[in-house]
């Protein structure tokens, strides 16, 4: 299957400009980046995509085995990079995608030359000598919350939602459509995300890296940001004055500034 179709790939910005790949995390889709794309696309080629199973991706390409490990998502990234023949791109990953970017950069070093990790966490569940912010019971509770909101998903509406992600005229009827996901797929993504432990991968990072954290993030607390920064040699840590887990939505200007400043150092 055509990877660009499969992953609903969108490319904006001047051809030939340095490439920035924006990867959404668990929950929604590439629309998460809509407030920062215009500023980034002025002087950069911006690549947007949805992981298989999310947003406008081709659901039939989803496979439980593959997407039950972060490596499966990293393969989506490297396959999108290969389909566009990207070289030395900067990968901006939000939330779990920050760690997906770390894995992708390891397997395709020629394609990914820099990482921006937005609100990253290599492990969400507390461990001995490590505080991720959650207990295993908390994650079960999240899965229950997802189950409770399955009711927002209707298999009859799914083709409409999936087939027309860019048709705002459908918006009124399709409230919550940006985050509408097949419940079975969402459950697998949630488990894979929140039960992951990729702390050992951090030391392997060999490309310039910017860690962007929020001052008040219920999912990735400050300690986790500091941990990620400490584990990646030579990384840069910026704490945005933002509340919540999605600075690209709650503090888009500050987020853009930080990303652009990092991109300048890579020119």
Residues that bind other proteins (CB under 8 A): 25-28, 31-32, 34-35, 95, 134, 138-152, 171, 175-176, 178-179, 194, 216-219, 243-246, 249-250
The Cα 155–Cα 35 span in angstroms is: 30
The beta-strand segments (E) located in the chain are 10-12, 19-23, 45-49, 89-94, 112-118, 209-216, 236-243
Catalytic residue among 54, 57, 95, 121: 95
Nearer to other proteins, 69 or 215 (CB): 215
245 is catalytic: yes
Q: At what angle do helices 136-148 and 183-194 cross, to 10 degrees?
A: 160
Tell me the two tokens of residue 47. 């690549």
Nearer to other proteins, 204 or 215 (CB): 215
The Cα 70–Cα 103 span in angstroms is: 8
- Report the nearest approach of other proteins to the CB of residue 113 (Å): 28
- Report the nearest approach of other proteins to the CB of residue 139 (Å): 8
Nearer to other proteins, 1 or 144 (CB): 144
- Report the nearest approach of other proteins to the CB of residue 124 (Å): 9
95 is catalytic: yes
The Cα 139–Cα 156 span in angstroms is: 29
Catalytic residue among 177, 217, 229, 235: 217
* The pairing of beta strand 45-49 with beta strand 10-12: antiparallel
Cite the active site residues: 95, 217, 245
């Amino acid at each position: 299957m055509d990877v660009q179709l499969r992953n609903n790939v969108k490319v904006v910005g001047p051809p030939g400009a340095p490439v920035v790949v924006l990867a959404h995390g668990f929950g929604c889709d590439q629309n998460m980046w809509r407030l920062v794309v215009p500023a980034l696309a002025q002087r950069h080629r911006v690549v947007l995509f949805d992981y298989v199973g999310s947003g406008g991706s081709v659901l039939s390409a989803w496979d439980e085995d593959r997407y039950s490990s972060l490596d499966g998502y990293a393969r989506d990234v490297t396959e999108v990079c290969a389909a566009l023949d990207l070289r030395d791109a900067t990968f901006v990953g939000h939330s779990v995608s920050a760690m997906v970017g770390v894995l992708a950069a390891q397997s395709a070093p020629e394609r990914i030359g820099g990482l921006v990790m937005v609100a990253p966490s290599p492990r969400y569940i507390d461990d001995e000598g490590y505080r991720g912010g959650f207990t295993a019971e908390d994650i079960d509770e999240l899965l229950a919350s997802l189950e409770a909101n399955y009711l927002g998903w209707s298999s009859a509406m799914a083709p409409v939602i999936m087939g027309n992600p860019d048709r705002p005229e459908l918006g009124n009827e399709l409230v919550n459509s940006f985050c509408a996901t097949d419940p079975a797929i969402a459950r697998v993504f949630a488990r894979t995300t929140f039960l992951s432990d990729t702390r050992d991968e951090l030391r392997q990072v060999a490309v310039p890296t910017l860690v962007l954290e929020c001052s008040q993030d219920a999912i990735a607390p400050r300690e986790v940001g500091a941990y990620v920064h400490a584990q990646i040699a030579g990384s840069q840590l910026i704490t945005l004055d933002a509340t919540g887990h999605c600075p690209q939505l709650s503090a888009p200007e500050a987020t853009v500034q930080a990303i652009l400043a990092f991109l300048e150092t890579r020119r």
